[in-house]
Structure 1
Amino acid sequence: MASILLSLNTHTALPLHTRTRTTKTTLKILRFSHKLPPSSPLYCNHDTRLHLRCQTTTGTPSTADFAAAAGQDRLRKVPIKNIRNFCIIAHIDHGKSTLADKLLQMTGTVQKREMKEQFLDNMDLERERGITIKLQAARMRYVYENEGYCLNLIDTPGHVDFSYEVSRSLAACEGALLVVDASQGVEAQTLANVYLALENNLEIIPVLNKIDLPGAEPDRVCKEIEEVIGLDCSNAIHCSAKEGIGITEILNAIVERVPPPRDTAAMPLRALIFDSYYDPYRGVIVYFRVIDGNIKKGDRVYFMASEKDYYADEIGVLSPNQMQVEELYAGEVGYLSASIRSVADARVGDTVTHYSRKAEQSLPGYEEATPMVFCGLFPVDADQFSELRDALEKLQLNDAALKVMTGDMNLLWLLDCYVFLVAKLLSIISFDSSELELEHDIVWICANGFGVDAAEVLSAPVFSSCPPLIRGLLDAFPHFEPETSNAMGFGFRCGFLGLLHMEIVQERLEREYNLSLITTAPSVVYRVNCVDDDIVECSNPSLLPEPGKRRSIEEPFVKIEMLTPKDYIGTLMELAQERRGEFKEMKYITENRASITYELPLAEMVGDFFDQLKSRSKGYASMEYTFVGYKESDLIRLDIQINGDPVEPLATIVHKDKERMMEAISKGTEFSVACFFKNMGGAFVLCPPVVYGLNDDVEREYSAYSVGRALTQKLKELIPRQMFKVPIQACMGAKVIASESLSAIRKDVLAKCYGGDISRKKKLLKKQAAGKKRMKAIGKVDVPQEAFMAVLKLEKEVL
């Protein structure tokens, strides 16, 4: 058994001897006349007693043992010069979460028996997909040179769709660990994260992870980081988070190289909210970083943006679970619970200050996230409309990048909701409709049904105008843009940062709020220049103005940078050309890796672009994109009709063909398809096929026809067969450009006829034909959910 002797003069732990023989574990209680200094790893808050459990061992206590022991006491206040706030940034799958796990384990923040992979990824979706979706914070205590340090870690996502989470994390830190896979090198998201860190003036520590892999080339990657990023890698740390190699060096580097927060404890409280979520029992829980001053439990706090005040019922730190404390100081990261019931009162980016001693100026906060992809969310059950609205409001608090679009209310839609709600209430509440003669009663019923304050409606200045009820509700109803569909009822129009973000939000709504949802085809925001000089922004293809009312249509363009090995340059340039990309630049980062820059429409990226990029490069390429602005394009709305009825959720806006190939074929026009090569940045690549007719002005792309053709074929596979023939058509205005037919199910009406006169069989067949004709005229076809997502996986066909 290893004995421990505590010297009262030096206050240090001295190992005496080690025996290989196993003996019974005992508990010794040592009494002291004074406290141990905080720098001691065995420091305790108690004045007179220190409890030591002597364990059987085969060696002397290691530095890791002392660090783990110190990590159990994470709530003790440390000087502000000993606080380090840092985050981990990297490309997806470069080992951020694994490194965070090792840091938690090494510092004793999480016991070994409690440890599990992706410890900070606490959502089921994160574990199932193996990605980080939400930023997570954890407070660690680390002893360095006999002095205790408080390390506040923030783990961040790596996917481009969640870059907004990264930007919020960086604003709460002074340093960042830049993790790069030693076998893959610098990727697109690595560059994007570095630029974000430099904008926030963070101290960047390069870390080369996965050095234990057979294909690891740390020297090459170091050179690549210096050449591409311009970051000095002479002190880069080589580690393997999986094997635990280099973890101590990382912790020491954090203490030595990350600067401490500024000492502003004497200033009025200013705390920046960087995340929050809604707890059904405690209300809104706020995660914040104290920039100036301090905050105590029970303080009356004031939210500067929402101008609301609350009492701090509970404050604490994240380690990584919530642990209560009495006070938080400048430079620390923690959480606040104040029984906040309205999610609008505590938004991400708001500044928290004291009610009695308000700060003169709020903190800058965060830039609003710009949504890139839009779609409609509809509940399968129409009765879940209010639940969907509440769920979106709560999820928007936790996911600030989710945008539930605002805009002018549709009075007809609001009237429909009002009639529907009153009819619903009349069927439940046992009173006669004559009792609803007062508009105040109607307002009360509707306001409670929508979850708004009836008094606010009644006090609205426009309540006395015509019609008062609708105008009052228009002013009081929360500014969510509703979306209606004859097929799916009422829903909401939402904006997302990308396709993965859209999928994650839908799954979170279904899992966390027990909803069953249908999503429409994703789209982007188009800018329509009308003939009356008005500019209309349209994200819903079904709301595109008529051709006679618009002068031109502009679509958003993005600049995309693809990092790829040189072997896949040609195929990726071909992919960008197929998506109407405009070549901008190509440069070699190293001898074997190149950066290719294109400008292409954002609409061409919505769908399978990222999947195609990974497929064509065998998983080695990566990409990053930024919004550059709007450009005029030749666009047209493509409608889908099923059995003659338009399906608005499947409408999409596509690039119009310059000349319809099918018309040329039907007229017997001679044409040829030629492929040609272009010199793009020193590399000859195969460009998309171009059609030439007898006249050279028949040069076209096949966007509208290929999309319509692929979509009708996909719908033919997904829509269940009916008792009648169902035509599926893709239309551009009044023209049908692609068509498929779903054959009818044949019911054998002659099965019961075992013989007899042929006239009997003819009579049954004639009756069946008449029934199918009648059914075709009045029959409705249900479109399954898979059909609405079919446009995401369209492959462009080349005829």
Structure 2
Amino acid sequence: MWPPAGPAWWRGRALAVWVTRAACLGLPRPPCAPTLGAAGESWGLSRLYSSAERKEKVDMSRFPVENIRNFSIIAHVDHGKSTLADRLLELTGTIDKTKNNKQVLDKLQVERERGITVKAQTASLFYNHEGKQYLLNLIDTPGHVDFSYEVSRSLSACQGVLLVVDANEGIQAQTVANFFLAFEAQLSVIPVINKIDLKNADPERVEKQIEKLFDIPSDECIKISAKIGTNVESVLRAVIERIPPPNAHRKDPLRALVFDSTFDQYRGVVASVALFDGVVSKGDKIVSAHTQKAYEVNEVGVLNPNEQPTHKLYAGQVGYLIAGMKDVTEAQIGDTLYLHKQPVEPLPGFKSAKPMVFAGMYPVDQSEYNNLKSAIEKLTLNDSSVTVHRDSSLALGAGWRLGFLGLLHMEVFNQRLEQEYNASVILTTPTVPYKAVLSSAKLIKEYREKEITIINPAQFPDKSKVSEYLEPVVLGTIITPDEYTGKVMMLCQARRAVQKNMMFIDQNRVMLKYLLPLNEIVVDFYDSLKSLSSGYASFDYEDAGYQTAELVKMDILLNGNVVEELITIVHKDKAHTVGKTICERLKDSLPRQLFEIAIQAAIGSKIIARETVKAYRKNVLAKCYGGDITRKMKLLKRQAEGKKKLRKVGNVEVPKDAFIKVLKAHSDK
């Protein structure tokens, strides 16, 4: 019965829910709505009712291709991408202007906790400029090097970018990397100098840096403060005036690029699509160019920034599409969707993500294996750059070996598993993918290739079977104040780096380029760099292939038995240091036994480091007061023989908590 009983805010909220459902089902508006009085003015009714009205009113056909602009915001970490996105959402009326608008597009809990963008997010903005209504599709991208794959995918759906640079810090390493991603994609670049309200801001210096490094005239830079909203409206004008509309045609057959996806447990795969040609609407039968499977479209819409269903999506527009894809393997990033019976040439798609770091992942309790498997499958759909291989361990049981784009990527994936799926896991020490060139024709026939990739250290082949080992290398870019240049160069030399270039980008800052072995930087290089430069240096890297290296497999033995989970691949020159460190950590972590435990690091049959866990001691002479010395000697000899026998039959099992402690310490070194 309407209106419902209760206070005004409750009646307003109840009516708001009714209105929303009625709008979604195509039912008429409740007749009592105008007579609700105070309830009708409540937050619930105004917010949800206007949302339902918008769903009915938005007609995407009124945005011709020439009135569409697709752009991304790219920048180094913490230069203000998400804050600028918040102001653009407010200026276009997409969200209400409140003090609580902070990182609106960062929807994941891990993003809000860490203050970084992990997943690219899309929002469609409706903006009136000089009497014309424009559709601006904004994609907010991550800034950390580990998530550059998210950036490259997002750029495929754009024609231009806003390159945001902090007016205080200036150009950083990831700024350079993101600029060249946009430059290679032949996108229009609009430089935006942010945080001009800061006390130490120097926008003129940053302008000169942009002009010197990127060859963009300084008069094209837009100076803003995204936090307080200064001059942000000029960014919207620049987007319309400087970024070209997409090259798309409504009358051609449908070609839609899947550039991202998420998993909804009730609706299946929600695919983010950019329409290059044609039109798609609810009820259309579409086909995946990758799997050749056909689907019926259940829903299409735009993100505003939440999902807003529309009747159709047209060429040049960016939105989402739900078509009943239930299996995680059906939604391939980079896939082309087309209408049934109207096949088209697939779009180029993307280069597949190249994992830079591998780690074993095992459930803490093996009874949780199936739940963890389901969680990993769903999360890898949301993060397609993670690779998964099944693996098993004697100590830790059945699990997986996962490939990540970097150490932060691994940490974020693990945190999302815990927060979104309530899964507890054990992560092994991160390793990098090595290669071995086989020397034997028999082995080449067995592996069916001359060059094999090793992602699990336990599978590292013996030196007698290979002609050479190869390790991955990266081209690193370091930007640092010039007073720290000497320390940075010493750090790089200690990590077997080869200097490729050195350039002063202004009077106080230097850009260094080094060729670095990936295994030397994957764990603690970034922390060491920040520490010795007082936090001012920035680091970015890109894949540079493989190079020959003297690599060895180092085994960790407990009383002569190899512990498979602690096998490590190291460079020959650093084997002793790494082996000694692991042995010391194991000594501190293993519980004492009734017999002595020998912890050894070995390369082949050669022991390079050793630590000993002492046995529990019992004073067998405690009851011997004086008397014959031979009696005492017999007791001591019997005790020694007993311990020797116990050591032979005694089996040293490494407890899981000791494993976790050692692996965590090794990954944090």
| Short-chain TM bin | 0.7 to 0.9
Secondary structure class of the residue paired with 2:133 = strand
Partner SS, residue 294 of structure 2: strand
Return the alpha-carbon distance in structure 2 between the equivalents of residues 185 and 251 of structure 1: 23
Which of the numbers 572, 585, 590 marks the counterpart of 2:501?
Answer: 585
Equivalence map 1:302-451=2 (5 Å): 302-358=287-343, 360-404=344-388
> Which residue matches 1:522?
430
Partner of 1:39: none
Cα distance in structure 2, aligned partners of 1:292 and 1:710: 59
Distance 1:763 1:241 in 2: 84
Q: 1:509 aligns with which of 411, 417, 420?
A: 417
Which residue in the other structure is 2:192 paired with? 207
2:587 equivalent among 705, 716, 733: 716
Is 1:606 paired with 2:522?
Answer: yes
CA distance in 1, matches of 2:639, 2:260: 64
Given that 2:552 and 2:572 are in contact with CA atoms closer than 8 Å, whether structure 1 keeps it comes out as yes
Which residue number in structure 1 is paired with residue 477 of structure 2? 561
CA contact (8 A) 1:726 1:741 kept: yes
Alpha-carbon distance between aligned partners in 2 of 1:495 and 1:548, rounded to the nearest angstrom: 28
Cα shift at 1:600: 2.1
Tell me: higher relative CO, structure 1 or 2? Use CA pairs within 8 A at least 6 residues apart.
2
The SS at the match of 2:218 is: coil
Higher helix share: 2
Q: Of residues 431, 439, 458 in structure 2, which corresponds to 1:531?
A: 439
Question: Structure 1 residues 161-170 or 92-101, which shifts more?
Answer: 92-101
Query: Which one is further off, 730-739 or 775-784?
Result: 775-784
For the residues of structure 1 that align with 2:613 and 2:173, how far apart are their CA atoms?
45
Does the CA-based 8 Å contact 1:318-1:334 persist in structure 2? yes
Q: Mark the structure with the bigger radius of gyration.
A: 1
1:337-392 residue CA offsets vs partner (Å, 9 max, x unmatched): 1221112122111011111323x201111111111111222222223333333333
Q: Find out whether 1:793 has 2:668 as its counterpart.
A: yes
Aligned to 1:408: none
CA distance in 2, matches of 1:132, 1:623: 18
Which amino acid counterpart does residue 376 of structure 1 have in structure 2?
Answer: G
Query: What letter corresponds to residue 510 of structure 1 in structure 2?
Result: E
Letter in 1 for 2:242: R
Distance 1:281 1:763, change over 3 A: farther
Equivalent of 1:75 in 47, 50, 58: 58
> Relative to 1, partners in 2 of residues 1:645 and 1:255: Cα closer, same or farther, differing over 3 Å?
same
* Secondary structure of 1:503 counterpart: helix
SS in 2 for 1:112: coil
Q: Distance in 2 between matches of 1:110 and 1:486?
A: 54
Structure 1 residues 757, 368: closer, same or farther in 2, change over 3 A?
A: same
Report whether the alignment pairs 1:225 with 2:223.
Answer: no
Q: CA deviation at 1:158?
A: 0.2
Contact 1:375 1:520 in 2 (8 A): yes
Superposed displacement of residue 552, structure 1 = 1.9
User: In 1, Cα distance between the equivalents of 2:54 and 2:608?
Assistant: 69
Name the CA shift for 1:273/1:741 in 2 (closer, same or farther; >3 Å): same
The structural deviation recorded for 1:776 is 4.2
Tell me by how many angstroms 1:775 deviates: 5.6
Does residue 740 of the first structure (1) align with residue 615 of the second (2)?
Answer: no
Task: Give the equivalent residue in structure 1 for 2:558.
Answer: 642
Q: Give the conservation status (yes or no) of the 8 Å contact 2:556–2:567.
A: yes
Looking at structure 1, the residues matched to 460 and 666 of structure 2 have their Cα atoms a distance apart, in angstroms, of: 19
Secondary structure of the 2:219 match is coil
| TM-score for both structures, normalised by structure 2 | 0.85
Question: Quick one: which of 632, 647, 652 aligns to 2:548?
Answer: 632
3-state SS of 2:334 partner: coil
Residue 771 of structure 1 deviates from its aligned partner by 7.4
Deviation track 1:588-625 (CA, whole Å, cap 9, x = no partner) reads 12121111122121111121011111111111111222
Q: Which residue of 2 aligns with 1:427?
A: none
Question: Which string of whole-angstrom CA distances, capped at 9 and with x for unpartnered residues, describes residues 9-38 of structure 1?
Answer: xxxxxxxxxxxxxxxxxxxxxxxxxxxxxx
Query: What is the match of residue 491 of structure 1?
Result: 399
| Deviation of 1:292 (Å) | 0.5
Contact 1:606 1:792 survives alignment (8 Å): no
- Structure 2 SS opposite 1:121: coil
Structure 2 counterpart SS, 1:615: helix
Q: Contact between 1:374 and 1:493, CA under 8 Å: does it hold in 2?
A: yes
- The 3 A distance-change label for structure 1 pair 137 and 726 is same
Whole-angstrom distance in 2 between the partners of 1:214 and 1:597: 31
- Rounded to whole Å, the distance in 1 between the matches of 2:618 and 2:255 is 74
Q: Does 1:728 align with 2:599?
A: yes
> Do the aligned residues in 2 keep the contact of 1:558 with 1:627 (CA within 8 Å)?
yes
Structure 2 unaligned segments of length 5 or more: list them. 1-28, 35-49, 442-449
Structure 1: how far apart are the matches of 2:218 and 2:628? 92
Contact between 1:649 and 1:788, CA under 8 Å: does it hold in 2?
no
Structure 2 match to 1:542: 458
SS at match of 2:142: coil
Name the amino acid aligned to 1:788. Answer: L
Conservation of the 8 A alpha-carbon contact between 1:268 and 1:292: yes
Does 2:130 align with 1:259?
no
Aligned letter for 2:602? C
User: In structure 2, do the counterparts of structure 1 residues 635 and 214 end up closer, same or farther at CA, with 3 Å as the change threshold?
Assistant: same
Shift of 1:583: 2.0
How big is the shift at 1:506? 2.1
| Matches of 1:338 and 1:718, distance apart in 2 | 52
* Offset at residue 168 of structure 1 (A): 0.7
Output the CA distance in 2 between the equivalents of 1:176 and 1:382. Answer: 47
Report the CA distance shift for 1:770/1:143 in structure 2 as closer, same or farther (over 3 A). farther
Paired residues of 2:248 and 2:276 also in contact (CA < 8 A):
no
CA contact (8 A) 1:348 1:397 kept: no
**Cα pair 1:306 1:346 within 8 Å, conserved:** no
Separation in 1, partners of 2:226, 2:71: 17
Q: Does the 8 Å CA contact 1:643/1:781 hold for their aligned counterparts?
A: no
User: Which runs of structure 2 are paired with 1:266-305 in the superposition (5 Å)?
Assistant: 266-305=251-290
Residues 750 and 395 (structure 1), Cα distance of their counterparts in 2 relative to 1, 3 Å cut:
farther
Cα distance, 1:346–1:758 mapped onto 2, change above 3 Å: farther
Change (3 A) 1:565 1:771: same
SS at match of 1:340: coil
Q: Is the 8 A contact 1:271 1:353 kept in 2?
A: yes
Give the Å deviation of 1:135: 0.4
Count of equivalent residues: 605
Q: In 2, distance between residues paired with 1:162 and 1:234? A: 31
1:494 and 1:572 mapped to 2: Cα distance?
Answer: 32
Q: Distance in 1 between matches of 2:528 and 2:393?
A: 32
Displacement of 1:750 in angstroms is 11
**Contact conserved, 2:63 with 2:135, CA < 8 A, in 1?**
no
SS in 1 for 2:323: strand
Query: CA shift at 1:529, angstroms?
Result: 2.1
Unaligned residue ranges in structure 1 (runs of 5+) = 1-45, 52-67, 405-480, 658-702, 795-799
Alignment match, 1:242: 227
RMSD: 2.9
Q: What secondary structure does 1:400 align onto?
A: coil
Normalized against structure 1, the TM-score is what?
0.71
Q: For the structure 1 residues 775 and 336, does the alpha-carbon distance in structure 2 shift closer, same or farther, using more than 3 Å as the test?
A: farther
